[in-house]
Amino acid sequence: MNKKLIKIGDHLIGKNQPVFIIAEAGVNHNGSLKRAKKMVIAAKKIGADAIKFQTFIAEELVTKDAPKAEYQKRQSGVGSQYEMLKSLELSEMDFVELQHFCSKQGIIFLSTPFELRSAELLDRLQVPAFKISSGELTNLPLLSKIAAFGKPIILSTGMSNLSEIREAVDEIYAEGNRKLILLHCTSNYPTRPENVNLLAMETMRRAFSVPIGYSDHTLGIEIAVAAVALGACVIEKHFTLDRNLPGPDHQVSLEPEEFKAMVATVRNTEQALGSGKKEPRFSERKIAKVARKSLVAASNIPGGTKLIAEMLTVKRPGTGISPEYISVVLGKITRRALKRDTVISWGMIR
C-alpha cells in the first residue's frame, strides 16, 4: 500500500481515493442514546462514511466554573461549561452499545476523546482511528498516549500555526505512529467564509507530506465542496436531526437532507477532478465531428487541379481534413472533380 494512503476500516484515504466523509454528530444527541442511534441510521442513509461522536468525562475535561464560549452561550444559555457538558455526557456502556449499533448499520464509528480515560475506552472498543479535536492539538501528553495505540489519527488544526502543528506531529511520530491525517479547520461557530483560508491546506500538504482534509464549521455546503476541489481527502461536517433542538452545536449543523446534498455534490466534484491529464474525453469525440471544421471546396474544382488557397475554405463539420493541415494540402492535386462545399478528405487528393 502507498505509504501516503491511510486505511480506516475498508476505506483508503489520500490522493486519488474517494473523499472520506465524516458526519460529526458530536453531542447533538443531547445526552440521549436513543437519539444517537437515530443519528447513526440517518448518517448511513445519507451517505456518510463514518459518524463521529465525542467521548468525555465532564469532571476530567473542565473545571466546575470554566466559562462557556460565546457561541455556546448563544445556543445553550447561561451556566458553566461543566454543567453543559455533564448534561451531554454518554456513559461507557452507551458507547459500547453505540459502537455495536454502528457496526450493525454498516457505518464506521468514530469518537473524539478529550482525556485519557475516554481514549482508553475507545481503544478498548477497537475504533479504527482516533479523531482528535483542535482544542487538544497542544495537549502533547494526550497526543503521545493516543499515538501509542498505533491507530490512524485524524488531527484537526483549528487555532494553530505551523509551529504548533509541527510540535504535535513530532509528538505523534515519536511514538512510531506515522498514520496521520491533518484537517485544516477554523474554530469559529459558525465560520464566516472570509475566515476559512482554504489555501492553508496546500501549505500544510507541503509542510508535512501527509493527507490533508477539512473540518468545516461554515453554514451551508459550498465551502466543504470547494475544499474537495482543492484536494481535501477528508470532509468532516456537523450533523443534526433537527437544527431547532436545544444545544451548543445544532444551529451550525446540517440536517439530513442538507448533508445528503453535500455528499452528492462532493461525489460529483471528486469525479469532476479527473486525472489531471489534458486530453479529449471519450464523450467529446462525436461532438468534435460536429463542432470542429474541415477544409472545404470554396468552388467547383476540376479533377487533376493543383490546389491553391483561393480554392479552399473552412467550414463545419469536422469529418474531413482539419484546417491545421492546410499547408500540407496546398499544392496537392485533386484525384477527381470536387463540387463546391465538398468536405475534403485525404483520399480526394494526391
- What pLDDT was estimated at residue 2? 57
CA distance 49 to 73: 32
pLDDT surpasses 70 at 54 = yes
Instruction: Specify the pLDDT at position 146.
Output: 98
* Burial category of 5 from C-beta neighbours within 10 Å (exposed 0-12, middle 13-18, buried 19 and up): middle
- Whether 196 shows a pLDDT value over 60: the answer reads yes
Q: Is the pLDDT of residue 72 over 80?
A: no
- The pLDDT of 170-183, averaged and rounded, is 98
Angle between helices 92-105 and 116-124 (to 10 degrees): 40
Considering only 25-34, 122-131, 149-158, 277-286, which range has the smallest mean pLDDT? 277-286
Would the pTM count as exceeding 0.75?
yes
Packing angle of the helix pair 33-45, 92-105 (nearest 10 deg): 20
Contacts of 204 (CB under 8 A, 6+ apart): 157, 162, 165, 182, 184, 212
User: Could you tell me where the DSSP H helices lie in the chain?
Assistant: 33-45, 58-61, 70-76, 81-88, 92-105, 116-124, 140-147, 162-174, 200-208, 222-229, 256-273, 285-291, 326-329
Query: Rounded mean pLDDT of the chain?
Result: 95
Calpha distance 138→114 (Å, rounded)? 12
Q: What is the average per-residue pLDDT within 84-108? A: 96
Higher-confidence position of 78 and 299: 299
Mean pLDDT value across residues 280-301: 94
Residue 79 pLDDT class (50, 70, 90 cuts): confident
Is the model's pLDDT at 69 over the cut of 90?
no
